[in-house]
Amino acid sequence: MREKRRGHIINVTSVGGLVGQPFNEFYCAAKFAVEGTTEALASYIQPKFNINFSCVEPGGIATEFANSALSQFQDSGGMLEDEYKPILEQYIGNAQARAEQGDSGVFQTAEQVAEVIADCADNPEPPIRARTSEWASEFCRLKTGLDPDGKKQQAMIVGTILGSQ
């Protein structure tokens, strides 16, 4: 890519890479790391070598993951009696209520996420970050409201740290 002076690296992260969430700390930490790596690489490789970097940030994806994890958790005896148990029970209860209410747009299909990835790949001026649903955009709005695609921050970082190119 460097030799050809073009390319595009797309990392699939998550809304969990922007917004920390209860009982998902290690997942969120890993996704935050990918977000930071992508932003850092975009700040100097994109302007110098014309290699774009993007993070695609889905919300929940409709799979059996949550049901499987909950089933395994319950089969193992659940959480011991301690101060975290009521918080976990509230977390699980709210998740189950959202699922029973039709999930309020939280979950989308893998095909819908793939469509956003393909659109990002085809975009001649791709975003640094792209959420994959209206729900994901709203969930992250407080963090991304002033710069939804990350391009303003990229320009500020390039100008502040590297000076004019």
- Per residue in 37-82, pLDDT (tens digit) is 999 999 999 999 999 999 999 998 877 776 777 777 777 777 777 8
Whether residues 159 and 79 share a domain: the answer is: no
Whether residues 116 and 55 share a domain: the answer is: yes
The whole-number pLDDT of residue 122 equals 98
Number of domains in the chain: 2
Whether residues 116 and 134 share a domain: the answer is: yes
Whether residues 53 and 115 share a domain: the answer is: yes
Whether residues 155 and 140 share a domain: the answer is: yes
Whether residues 97 and 137 share a domain: the answer is: no
pLDDT tens figures, 7-26: 999 999 999 999 999 989 99
- Strand locations in 19-158, DSSP E? 51-57, 60-61, 107-108, 129-131
Whether residues 93 and 41 share a domain: the answer is: no
Confidence (pTM): 0.86
Cα–Cα distance measured from residue 154 to residue 99, given in angstroms and rounded to the nearest whole number: 37
The whole-number pLDDT of residue 114 equals 97
Residue 8: DSSP 8-state: E
Whether residues 31 and 97 share a domain: the answer is: no
CATH number for the domain that contains residue 130: 3.40.50.720
Domain that holds residue 48: 1-61+109-165
